[in-house]
Structure 1
Amino acid sequence: MPSHLSADHPAAQPPGRGTVEALISQTRRLRGDMDAVRRDARSDGSEPRDRWQRALYDLALHQLNDLDAHLAQLRDGPPPVTATARADRAPAAVPAARGDSLLSRVGSAEWNLLTDHASWSGELYEILGRDASTPPLTLDELPSLVFDADRPKLTSMVTDCLVDAKRIDGEFRIVRPDGGMRTVHMMGEPVLGSDGSTASMWAVLRDVSELRRSQRAVSETRDSLRRPRDVARSEHGPAVEPQEAVLPPWHGSLRLPRQDGPHSLDLAARRLPASPGELTGGDWYDALELPEGETLLSVGDLTGHGVAVTSGMAMLLGAVRGMAMAGTRPGKLLAWLNQLLDTTVEPALGSAVCCRYRPEARTLVWAQAGHPAPLLFRNGTGRRLNAPDGVLLGATSGATYGEAEEALEEGDLVLLHTDGLVPGSSGTDAGPRLTDLAPRFAEARTAQDCLRMVVEEFGETARQDDACVLIARVTSARVTS
């Protein structure tokens, strides 16, 4: 397909060949790793969960194959679109997603409105199942290939493009001459003439039939795993019990270390439960006085819901406390937690932040495992700390976790939270909403006052998952609530 210069966007320059080759190599390595994982996953497909996992593997491999083919096309450049080239060109070898199902392919076309001339790439002929020696269809003839129910959609897209200069981005089904039906995704835009009118229209058409099939398979198998609402409710009570038994039952503010001394921490924390009827998750918070006057602060989340997850969370929190009391540094502590999750009978994923506060130096040494970094509030402003390296717990064997050190000042406030504290935001997306509270935090007298502000702002909103928040304020005088 020839390149175009549209009316308001200059043509983008293609990436260098070396850059695309590197992306292709990365994609193929990842595809090989994914295929190895799929082969190692032994299941006979008799259980809904097995079918769901198999469908997800197929979908991931299909998309990686798709990406590999598209990058190869980008590296090799556009194919010739002359009639002779189309007739003589043999179909390109394309990896199969499964069995004899062809990988989704990409073809291109241009329709010149001034000369009524149409140009199709060889791939488009193959997608539409047409003989490459026949002339390409005009825009008026194209709907003849489209499934009856989808013709109005195609007509509307093309009309909006030609009349209102809108870009095309939509899907429709086509019926091939052999009777087969395929789903095609079409993206295109008008090319404007010197007088501002539409001179031609170009488009890229992609066969997404297998991709949509894989997505439907994942959706159907996921639906089969959903349990009735009454089962979720029956598990809610037993799941909450171990969580509430393990988490610190704080009322008002807590000061650590307990003995009098400068630069201790004024602490407050809260678990915000999920909406009624939702299963309890594996979120936790903790503060623990350590030998030599240091304080452990941690928050984390074990993925999943229900009794098994809350029990696993209790196991993790116990391990965190034991290793911290033995003097294990935050980075090494998370590495041991990762190994613990990696070797359990039922592997799971988790995220966590682990901090050691040293009051004599007023420093916070911390590490994270795929978790939002702590927020630091000082003099009416707030920012998220720069996170050291750390992957999710249980994601890979032998992972190492970096550490960071932050010097704190009297009056500083550190906020740790789990994902889901701010409804509608995940991960670091919640940071700006939380840092907006900085001016109000500056006027607060205690950590408990700050916690109350967080709960008033975000605690009453319906949430699909539990969330925890832990606030630590550096102080030199005993604080009472």
Structure 2
Amino acid sequence: MTGHPPEDGAVHPADEFATLRLQIEDLRRALTAIRGGDVDAVVLSGPQGQQLYTLVSADRPYRVIVEEMGDGAATVSERGIILFANRRIADLVGTDRAALLGKDITGLVDASAADTLASLLTTVPGTTRHGELVLAGAAGSTVPALASVTGLDIEGTIVRCLTVSDLTDRRRNEQELVGAYADLTRSTRELEEAQRIGRIGSWFWDVASGELDWSIQMYRIFGIDPGATGSTAQQALATASHPEDAAAATAAWDRALADHQPFVVQQRFIHADGSLRHTVTRGEVICRPDGTVSGMRGTTQDVTEQRRAAEAVVEAREALVRQTMELAEEHRVKESLQRAILPARLPTAPQVELAARYLPADRPSLVGGDWYDAFWLPDGCLAVAVGDVVGHDLDAAATMGQVRNALRAYAFSEGTPAAALTRLNALTTGLHDGGLATAVFGRLEPSRHSWRWASAGHLPPLLISPTGVRLLADPAGMMLGATSGTSFADALTPLSHDDLVLLYTDGLIERRDRDLDAGFAALVHAAHDLVRQPAEVVCDALLDRLLPAHGHEDDVCLLALRLTSRAGAARPAAR
């Protein structure tokens, strides 16, 4: 609304009243417009020219908007002094709004964002610039913010309007998204690695597009270039499929689409290098709520190695069965040969009690040359012998038969055990087959209560007597077959009633986990309470106490002779 003074400078009462009425009418209309909210400002002419007067209520809606908006806002002078700040920006920097007015705007940002803010504050009027700032919050905290600065020229005065949006939630969401993506990437790699290790791939078929989506392992299983897609991949798959399996695979696929049931199909594929791969595919149909098929998904596993391993196991099992049967048959032959060579029964006499045991090794492949013998001589002496031929095969068993039979012959022709072993050694070395053996041979004279014996590298006999249990001292003598010209010596052991002499082979006392002396000590200890026990009882007790519960690796041979209270009576007829 504008007032106009008279142009000619003269004042007439009538005109003055008319002018006043016009001014009053103008003021009335202006007041009505102001009350109705149709006027925000009034321009009045005066001595200082036209002046603009804004109404306090005119900018109230805008102030409400600025105050209630979710972003922080501030008006900054050209020198960067804060002229206005809303509550939100005060909350972001953790201070009172009144404390912000008149302060430098640069105090609101972290030092790291000072250059960015300085650049934004150069925004010229009529333009808007954007950037990211870091607001300096309370207690050293920071707030990431997206800033927008608009330059304004108000009647020659340059001001800049700053708005800031809190990016804290966005940054948190971005970090969570980055973490989720990293987890997804890691899970994808782990899945691919697991599929590679397990030689298993996954696939999905979309019924609408007809496209097959494969994991990377599927390409490896089929021997197809991973770069192949769509029809190219399907054509490569058809080419790699074994012609004998294609019909069965197609039938399983079609049947699953018809009955909506899971399926399993075995199929072979031929790689470009000609190698054959065996696979097992498992799939299931995916249906929409209305029952129509939307696709199919499943896995394919390369079971070539498992199949080869299974075939190898079958072959190995068959070979093991054959080998076991062959070993069992060989063992039966060896044992039959050995038992045929051993005496069918021991000689009997009232004055002497005899007992013998022979146990072959637990392993069927091991039947050695352990042997024993007992027979009456023409002079009334009882000849007893125990020996061990080196080896665990048919040759050892055959050598054992030769040694036993030869010793029988020499026992009848030679006068002493040492002389018989000397002849036996000459025979063994003369065979030139490299055979070696040990033996202990003796003559028991019941009437004289004496036992004369000689040893060819064999273990010392054990004497179980009421006076004590001990090993008999060995006379000199090397193994049979070791060297020609070896001499042997006799030893004479007096015996009393209830004395028992035990001859044995190394299988009774030798063990992998102890030395021979420990074996001798174990033998003496095991026999300490067997004085005056029958020969049969002694043999069984020693086997039970000395042999391992889990089996024995070597043959075991025992021969026990016990002088009874009737020793000295006439011997029975020779037999």
**TM-score interval (norm. to shorter):** 0.3 to 0.5
TM-score normalized by the length of structure 1: 0.47
Higher relative contact order (CA 8 A, sep 6+): 1
Larger Rg: 2
TM-score normalized by the length of structure 2: 0.40
